[in-house]
């Protein structure tokens, strides 16, 4: 792999292809960056760390060479990226986290999170989470546009305007289908891993970290960025993006990271 090689970890629900379309539009060339297929790696009976690290090793090896590999992660992709940085420090040059989701145990974040219902279902256990995702999946099949609109109903105006572009809305709906319809078991496995306490990995992260955080984010509130910055073991800086929310931070930050 080359020094410029970038491995991207998408959000949840999400996919590499759909998030690239949200940011850059359709048919965009992103040859410097490949996506980590972590949903494809989960749901096979392995524990979360084993599956994620194996997926990372395969992706890193596929890039060839011995240069430094950069990690870029969006939203819940930050959990996997931080674990990789803790366990594979020699293979990581830097870590950019866009609107990162931090461990819930670091503070009382849940009350301010737009995704509170799904995380509460995951905390209650597999039966509750299974029922919740079954309802989500049925709603997505019957009325995908309505589901997408409801998810952004309480988002800031900048976020709602961002998603009025039909191509972006379709890409977001594709994100939902990728997780809920194609990788349901993996989606639930990642949610269960997220609500567990993984904060003990953070002091082991010595790779330089930069956080790109929207000041108006209701999915991953700014308090999460501050808590992560204080908890990681290495240097960490935060770029606050005034007025931007979750996907707004992604659309703003990813082109700058690539540049």
CA–CA dist 257, 96 (Å, integer):
8
Looking at the predicted structure, is the pLDDT value of residue 240 above 70?
A: yes
Q: Is 6 exposed, middle or buried (0-12, 13-18, 19+ CB in 10 A)?
A: buried
- The CB density around residue 27, as the number of other CB atoms within 10 Å, is 6
CA–CA dist 213, 227 (Å, integer):
12
CA–CA dist 136, 144 (Å, integer):
10
CA angle 183, 73, 226 (to 5 degrees): 125
Q: Say how many domains are in the chain.
A: 1
Residues 6+ apart with CB under 8 A from 67: 1, 2, 3, 5
CATH of residue 80? 3.40.50.1820
Q: Is 201 exposed, middle or buried (0-12, 13-18, 19+ CB in 10 A)?
A: buried
In a domain, 69, yes or no: yes
Block residue for tokens 């956080």: 211
pLDDT in tens, 101-135: 999 999 999 998 988 999 999 999 999 999 999 99
For 108, list phi and psi in degrees, rounded to 5: -90, 70
Q: Which two tokens stand for residue 231?
A: 């908890």
Cβ atoms of residues 49 and 81 within 8 Å? no
In a domain, 1, yes or no: no
Q: What is the residue-averaged pLDDT of the chain?
A: 89
If you count them, how many residues does the chain have? 259
16-20, 25-29, 93-97, 104-108: the lowest-pLDDT one: 25-29
The whole-number pLDDT of residue 44 equals 60
In a domain, 88, yes or no: yes
3-state secondary structure of 227: helix
3-state secondary structure of 34: strand
Measured between alpha carbons, how far apart are the two ends of the chain, in Å? 18
Q: Give the percent of the chain with pLDDT over 70.
A: 94
74: containing domain: 6-258
**Residue 246 Cα distances to 106, 109, 148, 233, angstroms:** 20, 15, 14, 25
pLDDT in tens, 38-50: 888 775 667 899 9
In a domain, 113, yes or no: yes
In a domain, 202, yes or no: yes
Q: Which two tokens stand for residue 69?
A: 């590999």
Cβ atoms of residues 42 and 16 within 8 Å? no
């Amino acid at each position: 792999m080359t020094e410029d090689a970038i491995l991207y970890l998408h959000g949840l629900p999400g996919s590499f292809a759909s998030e690239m379309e949200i940011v850059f539009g359709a048919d965009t060339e992103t040859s410097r960056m490949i996506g980590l297929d972590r949903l494809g790696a989960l749901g096979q009976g392995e524990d979360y760390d084993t599956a994620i690290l194996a997926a990372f090793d395969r992706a890193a090896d596929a890039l060839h060479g011995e240069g430094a590999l950069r990690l870029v992660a969006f939203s819940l992709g930050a959990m996997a990226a931080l674990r990789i940085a803790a366990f594979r420090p020699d293979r990581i040059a830097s870590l950019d986290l866009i609107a990162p989701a931090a461990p819930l145990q670091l503070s009382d974040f849940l009350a301010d999170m737009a995704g509170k219902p799904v995380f509460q279902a995951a905390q209650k256990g597999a039966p509750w989470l299974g029922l919740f995702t079954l309802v989500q999946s049925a709603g997505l099949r019957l009325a995908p546009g309505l589901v997408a609109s409801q998810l952004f109903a309480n988002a800031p105006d900048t976020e709602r305007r961002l998603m009025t572009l039909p191509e972006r809305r379709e890409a977001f709906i594709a994100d939902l289908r990728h997780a809920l319809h194609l990788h349901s078991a993996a989606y639930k496995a990642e949610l269960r891993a997220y609500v567990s306490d993984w904060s003990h990995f953070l002091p082991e992260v010595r790779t330089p970290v930069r956080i790109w955080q929207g000041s108006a984010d209701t999915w991953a509130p700014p308090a999460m960025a501050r808590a992560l910055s204080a908890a990681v073991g290495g240097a960490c800086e935060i770029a606050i993006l005034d007025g931007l929310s979750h996907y707004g931070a992604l659309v703003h930050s990813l082109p700058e990271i690539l540049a």
